[in-house]
């Protein structure tokens, strides 16, 4: 880190300095930066995919649980934005 901060010092945030220190330690210990970066990217994509699937599962379960038809609730069909209509729409998920 002294190479970055000594002759012509550049400012870093605390988080950035911590990440750079970890990166340099990883390289010094023989780690491959590119492979590690790809591995982390794949892990993030997997997490996003799992989140998306979880949302779909929850939405399906909510839709199956509601046996009442939404169309027969007058306050939702008149088009006015009232506190009741907003509340019911938020519960409905639309």
Q: Which domain holds residue 82?
A: 67-93
Nearest 5°: the CA angle 26, 30, 36 is 55
* Sequence-distant (≥ 6) Cβ neighbours of residue 85 within 8 angstroms: 75, 76, 78
Average pLDDT, stretch 25-44?
A: 91
- The reply to whether 53 falls in a domain is yes
**Statement to judge: residues 38 and 59 lie in one domain:** yes
Which one has a higher pLDDT value, 39 or 68?
39
Domains: count for the chain: 2
**Statement to judge: residues 55 and 73 lie in one domain:** no
60, two tokens: 């399906």
User: Worst-scoring range by mean pLDDT, 40-49, 61-70, 77-86?
Assistant: 61-70
Check: pTM over 0.95? Answer yes or no: no
Which one has a higher pLDDT value, 75 or 67?
75
- CA-CA-CA-CA torsion sign (69, 73, 78, 79): negative
**Statement to judge: residues 44 and 58 lie in one domain:** yes
CB 76 within 8 Å of CB 89: yes
Look at residue 43 and tell me whether its pLDDT is greater than 90.
yes
- The reply to whether 78 falls in a domain is yes
């Amino acid at each position: 880190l002294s190479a970055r901060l000594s002759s012509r010092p550049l400012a870093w945030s605390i988080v950035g300095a911590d990440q750079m220190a970890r990166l340099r330690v990883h390289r010094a210990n023989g780690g491959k930066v590119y492979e590690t970066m790809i591995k982390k990217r794949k892990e993030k994509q997997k997490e996003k995919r799992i989140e998306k699937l979880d949302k779909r599962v929850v939405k399906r379960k909510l839709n199956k649980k509601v046996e009442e038809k939404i169309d027969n609730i007058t306050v939702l069909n008149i088009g006015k934005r009232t506190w009741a209509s907003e509340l019911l729409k938020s519960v409905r998920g639309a």
